[in-house]
């Protein structure tokens, strides 16, 4: 009798969850379901792929393999990605790629681009390393984790990546805002790390701008299908620059990226239906 009651409860709960997921009206279950699919997919790929990465320890080829396996989830959660001027990251050279950071979905956008950039890695905060098995797989794929609270260790890590950019012509992707900006109407001030690294290695900086995630709003539990444009700006050379030039360099690139961001915002919102419940708050 108890077994039958338990089965009935499970069926009812499962039916209720499915009903909430397929509803047109936004709700918390539907919202969390899409993010859960994304995180579970990343974890499963990490779990099965990390032993393979041991054969080419910390090789950027591992990252391309992992990115290729992670790309399909973007169709499941309903995001379309478009790229503009992506040829600038096709070139075989060391560079620092800097982009705005609005959501954990930015990582999914990077996965779509890894086969284009080819020899590329990323810098991430150390907390992500402990999100196993994904963090372990990312480490074995060449992602550099830094402890931002300890300046010395962060500096040592950035010095190593400078050598990688120069000697192995590797592109390194960073989010100079330092944290996610959930206000989809601008960008936070940039921190110096990425720009110091580019100047120290005398490699160009390639700005990348993600358009607003107008289709996501956590407070309102909105996670609709959406379109994200990633636009690359022409490389900004650092040859001949010194650390004294970094503040002006940051301001120059921030201004350029903000202008592109505003243009993308207008373009996307103008293309939406008049009654679309778009948001500029994550």
The answer to the question of residue 204 being in a domain is: yes
Q: How confident is the model at residue 282 (pLDDT cuts 50, 70, 90)?
A: low
User: Looking at the predicted structure, is the pLDDT value of residue 258 above 60?
Assistant: yes
Are 142 and 62 within 8 A, CB to CB?
yes
Q: What is the pLDDT of residues 76-92, one digit of tens each?
A: 899 999 999 999 999 88
Q: What is the pLDDT of residues 19-28, one digit of tens each?
A: 667 777 877 8
Would the CA dihedral through 71, 74, 75, 77 be positive or negative?
A: positive
The answer to the question of residue 10 being in a domain is: no
Of 199, 195, 181, 172, the residue nearest 258 (C-alpha): 181
Q: Which two tokens stand for residue 5?
A: 């009651």
User: Looking at the predicted structure, is the pLDDT value of residue 155 above 60?
Assistant: no
The answer to the question of residue 22 being in a domain is: no
Q: Please give the mean pLDDT across all residues of the chain.
A: 85
* Interatomic CA distance for residues 69 and 46, integer angstroms: 10
Of 72, 79, 35, 37, the residue nearest 214 (C-alpha): 79
Tell me which of 167 and 210 has the higher pLDDT. 210
Domain carrying residue 189: 27-270
Look up tokens 């699919």; give the residue: 37
Look at residue 23 in the predicted model and tell me its pLDDT: 75
* Interatomic CA distance for residues 208 and 215, integer angstroms: 20
Are 225 and 78 within 8 A, CB to CB?
yes
Are 62 and 150 within 8 A, CB to CB?
no
The answer to the question of residue 53 being in a domain is: yes
What DSSP line would sit under 90-108, residue for residue? TSSS-EEEEE---STHHHH
| Ranges assigned E (strand) in 214-256 | 216-217, 222-223, 226-232
User: Looking at the predicted structure, is the pLDDT value of residue 222 above 70?
Assistant: yes
The answer to the question of residue 18 being in a domain is: no
Please report, for the domain that includes residue 77, its CATH number. Answer: 3.40.1130.10
Segment 60-79 shows an average pLDDT of: 88
Proportion of the chain above pLDDT 90, given as a percent: 37
* C-alpha triplet 67, 56, 143: angle, nearest 5°: 50
Q: What is the pLDDT of residues 122-135, one digit of tens each?
A: 888 888 888 888 88
Write down the number of H helices and E strands in the chain. Answer: 9, 9
Segment 213-227 shows an average pLDDT of: 89
Percent helix, strand, coil in the chain, to 5, is 55, 15, 30
Tell me which of 184 and 251 has the higher pLDDT. 251
Q: How many domains does the chain have?
A: 1
The answer to the question of residue 219 being in a domain is: yes
Are 246 and 101 within 8 A, CB to CB?
no
């Amino acid at each position: 009798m108890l077994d039958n009651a338990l089965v009935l409860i499970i069926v009812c709960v499962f039916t209720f969850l499915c009903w909430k997921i397929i509803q047109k009206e936004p709700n918390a279950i539907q919202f969390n379901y899409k993010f859960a699919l994304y995180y579970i997919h990343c974890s499963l790929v990490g779990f099965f792929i990390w032993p393979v990465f041991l054969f080419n320890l910390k090789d950027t080829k591992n990252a391309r393999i992992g990115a290729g396996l992670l790309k399909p989830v973007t169709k499941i959660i309903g995001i379309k990605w478009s790229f503009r001027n992506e040829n600038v990251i096709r070139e075989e050279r060391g560079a620092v790629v800097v982009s705005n950071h609005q959501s954990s979905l930015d990582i999914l956008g990077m996965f779509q681009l890894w086969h284009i950039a080819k020899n590329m890695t990323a810098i991430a905060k150390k907390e992500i390393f402990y999100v196993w098995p994904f963090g372990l797989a990312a480490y074995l794929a060449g992602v550099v984790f830094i402890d931002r609270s300890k300046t010395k260790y962060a500096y040592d890590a950035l010095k190593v990546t400078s050598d990688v950019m120069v000697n192995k012509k590797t592109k390194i992707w960073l989010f100079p805002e330092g944290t996610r900006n959930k206000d989809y109407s601008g960008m936070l001030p940039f921190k110096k790390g990425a720009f110091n690294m580019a100047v120290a290695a005398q490699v160009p900086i390639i700005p990348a701008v993600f358009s607003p995630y107008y289709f996501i709003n956590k407070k309102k539990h909105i996670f609709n299908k959406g379109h994200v444009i990633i636009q690359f700006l022409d490389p900004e050379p650092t040859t001949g620059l010194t650390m004294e030039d970094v503040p002006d360099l940051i301001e120059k690139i921030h201004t350029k990226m903000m202008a592109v961001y505003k243009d993308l915002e207008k373009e996307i919102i103008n293309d939406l239906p008049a009654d679309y419940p778009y948001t500029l708050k994550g």
